[in-house]
Chains A and B, each alone.
Chain A
């Protein structure tokens, strides 16, 4: 397990390095220097020169790349062009909001999806099973910001049950939870049916395997068989999909945050792009990439724990 962990982590770090180089290339090696783009056409040469020095653009490329890497490793992602605040500070301030939103959305989608998937297996061919089949296909096709807009319209504007914008009053848990309901609903709902279908399909496959028959032959109850003997195997493909899906959940969060004017990484990136705040754009992208890789790697490790055959294949090869 230790060797497997080391291998997976190594791969993730390599991935991150490649992303950093590619990002650097995109921002700094394209024609037009970032300082003029950031300051606009009417900036004075003196102002530009000052920014160029501050961003280190007057140094040789290799030196710039090295500085960027060295700083990033030390947790310094540069400074905001406009306010001069450290980029990392702003990210760490906004990130918990996005994480909570994505996590809550994913959490309830997973719980509901797995439960519905299991029930669909128990009542195979029943009403729930059929309904799930229809809903999951149509729901996954709808973008979450569309759902966000309609949810906002219906529940916040017409019915006035839930707050339309913001993240709730700081310190007031009740208002924060209420502010989370609509956005997390908008993100999670597209996943529920999909996850349920996924769990159902892999559960049905597992229930047909010979070892399930053995468990039945020893008189174990169907409930115990589903939860202890089948679910652990059936959840594996779901976890793998979910880890990759977390990327799309985070990008959904970017849009949904904008719809609901929630503070978070989404609102941060959008305003940074609008103001040509390159260090902030780069820092945020890098941070989110690192986070995404962390999640995917963690999921890999969890899967290896759940299914010992996976890590043995790795150990052997």
Chain B
């Protein structure tokens, strides 16, 4: 692996904030991912997961303002000018997009796009096409040569998602970002894709960041988890710690609402009352305080400290004690 630091860190995010005008969609996020590691980012809709993903690949939405650092293989993609960012995209970092139907070009064939994406390769077009076919076969497309001559709307949902995964893997990136890789799929297809990603993670040399609102995906795929709430990372830990020893009240509520964790039958699935707060501007103090069952007066006024509860396990909460 080139570019990774000695301790195997591939991705280091430090104090990353992203705002869309007055909306502070991401505030001071810090995280790391090491070589051969799969980390999960989990949180409700609108908590800033896609915002984080677009910052990781150096492609913020037009009008978004980024601050902080995103180092991939030691190079900061936030500080880099657009030219340098472009040189990192599709080389150091690649992305599996959420909806493969709209994220492939509708008028070019899959083969044309997969060969184009390898534009930095010195290989001739034919060889690049052959690589693409081999990768499609690897991700389980039954007839890769045929699929290369197809347009995206001629493939089934599962095949599209496999093609999207193949596209990203073709780049052999140090960092692979998957934004909701299974959300567009039905349950059977989701299980198949998760199974595929589990297989692939052993072949992949770099780090993988899986973004999802679905705890099941985290449990199946990830080594470590970052829990996000309203644009902030509120807890981090190993998948085991998050599942069995959640410390932040939000994480606890999230686990309690996961249908997989509910024993027996219930009339109604539990939900977290109220909604995610407005981020324009975010509330003072802890952003979860308005919905928190154990909030104190201090929670509404003072920002919570980051409390370390074990090696690699930390939560941002006034209630948490080491």
Contacts and interface: CB of A to CB of B under 8 A. Distances in A.
Interface of A: 209-211, 213-221, 224, 228-229, 232-233, 306-309, 312
B104 A214 contact: yes
Interface in B85-127: 86-91, 94-95, 97, 99, 102-108, 116-117, 119-120
13 contacts: A211-B103, A213-B103, A214-B104, A214-B105, A215-B105, A217-B97, A218-B89, A218-B90, A218-B94, A218-B117, A220-B116, A228-B108, A308-B106
A219 B102 contact: no
B314 interface: no
A4 to B, nearest CB: 15
B59 A216 contact: yes
B214 interface: no
B99 A210 contact: yes
A24 to B, nearest CB: 43
Given A211-B104, A308-B151, A309-B153, A217 B99 contact: no
Given A213-B103, A214-B103, A312-B153, A219 B95 contact: no
B52 interface: no
Contacts of A215: 105, 116
Which DSSP category, helix, strand, loop or mixed, fits chain A's interface?
A: helix
A224 B120 CA distance: 13
B90 A229 contact: no
B153 A219 contact: no
B105 A306 contact: no
B89 A217 contact: yes
Nearest to B87: A219
Contacts of B104: 211, 214
A219 B107 contact: no
A210 B167 CA distance: 15
Contact of A213 (B59, B106, B117, B151): B59
A220 to B, nearest CB: 6
Nearest to B101: A210
A217 B102 contact: no
B278 to A, nearest CB: 26
Interface string B152-185: 0110000000000001000100000000000000
